[in-house]
Amino acid sequence: MCVTLRINDVVGGRRRHGYMRGCLSDLHGYNHSLIRSLAERQGCLDTTARELFLPTAQRQELEPSRLSLCACHNNLCNFSVSPPCFFIFLFVILVIFLMR
């Protein structure tokens, strides 16, 4: 499952937004029970870093900064085009070019 993580943070009194995109399997130590609802449907989950990444013996508790985690389950995740659509597009361009 592809995910986009948007982090709302305040640094030095200024608000900033950070983005990360990738596979959920690449995130280590996330709260599986919190993510379970995203595995069944496409959408976003508004939570805090403290709730998403639970503290362990190796990792201390995180600040309660707000973040949004969005899931994508189709072929156009992370704005990539699926191969069949790409070949259909090339075929249409070729037909248009040959008809001239």
pLDDT per position as a tens digit, 39-74: 777 778 888 877 887 766 566 666 667 888 888 776
Query: How far apart are the C-alpha atoms of 25 and 86, rounded to whole Å?
Result: 27
Lowest mean pLDDT among 34-38, 81-85, 88-92: 81-85
Report pLDDT for 62: 62
Query: How far apart are the C-alpha atoms of 43 and 27, rounded to whole Å?
Result: 18
Is residue 71 within 8 A of residue 24, CB to CB? The reply is yes
Higher pLDDT, 19 or 76: 19
- The mean pLDDT value for 7-26 works out to 79
